Structure 1
Amino acid sequence: MKLLAIDCVANLCAACVYDTAAGKELGRSVLDLGKGHAEHLMAVIYGALKAGATDYASLGAIAVSTGPGSFTGLRVGVSAARGLALALKIPAIGVTTLEALAAEATATFPGRAVLAALDAGREEIHAALYDETSVLIYGPAVTTLSEAAAMAADISAVIAGTAAMQIAASAGRAFDIGPTTATADIAVYARLAATKGAGEKPKPLYLRSADAKPQAGFILSRQDHDPAKRELVSGKDHGPKENKS
């Protein structure tokens, strides 16, 4: 079966075609955008299909990175994956950023526990801990830097993700370090999705609410259009005008 994997959770807009039977990548397309995933994703997908000498009709599944990551990027990627899956009548499979980073670290350090950790700002860490057999034993969750450092030190875990160096510094000791990027290689998502198979429809993994929120101080109360009521509310009672003629 041929599987299309897409990833928009961080700066990359990436797609690849993966042969699940042969266990190999057939072709990919990757742009380092930062922003603008919505405008470029379909062209990136087309580039991956062309590089993999395949087309939409030949696909058997869609894989997508589900975060944690950029709020906008997550929505773009997951929406595209679910839309394509619905149109093609094939399953969509979600893979979290943390499990992909952990899998990439495991490829370099097999048989080791891995703490996948992303710097979430506000002195918070998005983390997930996997044991020596890649079974999830903690998270995905929001934790503090000190808690993440204690977790990694307790079992001498390999650390992966953008918070890896911070955690090592906080623990004050050396660790084996996996990828320190915000997302894994696109082929890792494809490989993990092929192993998972079809399940629930993918949805964005939001570990905390969005940073942008309505500013309550600028919300205006509804005004009453009855002039008499407006005068009462303002505390003014003009009364009848004096006839000065």
Structure 2
Amino acid sequence: MPSDPTVLAFDTSAAHCAAALLRGGQITVSRAEAMTRGQAERLMPLLEEVLAEAGCTWQDLDAVGVGTGPGNFTGIRISVSAARGLALGLGVPAIGVDGFDALANLAPEGQVPAIRAPREQAYVRLPGEEPKLISTETPQLPAALYYCEDPETQARSIAKIATRRIGTQIEAPAPLYVRPADAAPSKDVPPILLDG
């Protein structure tokens, strides 16, 4: 692995599609687009645009970094699947970075990194504890919560952390789910096939 690796990082764990390219120890290009749907269709073209703007090709990459959540179930699966596929196809490592680690470098001292969740809730990971879902209306929160409202900044952080983890992370990235899926099985009755 080169001393200054080229790392493409991306995240679709919320209502956005974000990417950042780190090259020569610096973020050279980063982008984010707000979107509630369509991340699966937009992610690869966005990554190609970021590479083109930086004058890079897929073969220039030394690693891929990916945000693993918590957040939107479908969005997380899109990014993690893309990262695993790219890593396999390019022969480079895919490095997962959870949202708490990505925000830890950004949060002011004394504030707990938090990720917004539906229904006035937030995902948090308090020191020494497992990640959990809390109500933001709780009268006594353990500390002030820090939210990063800029997915482009978060993608940059993922790229930097992934770069530091090259050669140390063995397992393929996996989604970080804090709560069970909120999708219910279909109640539609399957069609009846008639012979004849």
- Please indicate the TM-score interval, normalised by the length of the shorter structure: 0.7 to 0.9
The answer for unaligned runs of 5 or more in structure 1 is 130-135, 153-157, 162-178, 221-245
Match 1:160 to one of 146, 166, 187: 146
Aligned to 1:102: 104
Partner of 2:194: none
Q: How does the TM-score come out when normalised to structure 1?
A: 0.67
Aligned pair partner of 2:80 in 78, 81, 106: 78
Q: Which runs of structure 2 are paired with 1:1-245 in the superposition (5 Å)? A: 1-19=5-23, 22-105=24-107, 109=108, 112-122=109-119, 124-129=121-126, 136-145=127-136, 149-152=140-143, 158-161=144-147, 179-180=148-149, 184-198=153-167, 199=169, 200-214=171-185, 218=187
C-alpha deviation, 1:118, in angstroms: 2.6
Question: Do the aligned residues in 1 keep the contact of 2:18 with 2:151 (CA within 8 Å)?
Answer: no
Greater shift, 189-198 or 42-51, is seen at 189-198
Q: Runs of 5+ in structure 2 lacking a partner?
A: 190-196
What residue identity is the alignment partner of 2:145? I
Shift of 1:30: 2.7
> How far apart, CA to CA, are the structure 2 residues paired with 1:191 and 1:148?
35
- What corresponds to 2:192 in structure 1? none
Q: CA RMSD in A?
A: 2.5
Aligned letter for 2:84?
R
**What letter corresponds to residue 211 of structure 1 in structure 2?**
D
Shift of 1:42: 0.7
Identity of paired residues, percent? 34
State the 1:84 CA deviation: 0.2
In structure 2, the CA distance between the partners of 1:128 and 1:205, relative to structure 1 (3 Å rule), is same
Aligned residue pairs, count = 185
Superposed CA deviations along residues 93-132 of structure 1, whole A, max 9, x for unmatched, are 0111122122222xxx3xx233112332345431023xxx
Q: 1:57 to 1:113 in 2, by over 3 A?
A: same
Q: What SS does the corresponding residue of 2:172 show, helix, strand or coil?
A: coil
* 1:139, distance to aligned residue in structure 2 (A): 2.9
Shift of 1:55: 0.7
Name the structure where helix makes up a greater proportion of residues. 1
Contact kept in structure 1, 2:30 and 2:152, CA below 8 Å: no
1 CA distance for matches of 2:122 and 2:149? 14
Aligned AA for 1:139?
E
Displacement of 1:11 after TM fit? 1.9
Between 1:82-91 and 1:186-195, the stretch displaced more is 186-195
Structure with larger RCO (C-alpha < 8 A, sep 6+): 2
Name the larger-Rg structure: 1
Residues 20 and 50, structure 2, Cα contact 8 Å, conserved in 1: yes
What SS class does the counterpart of residue 96 from structure 2 fall into?
strand
Q: Partners of 1:66 and 1:43 in 2: how far apart? A: 20
Contact persistence 1:102–1:114 (CA under 8 A): no
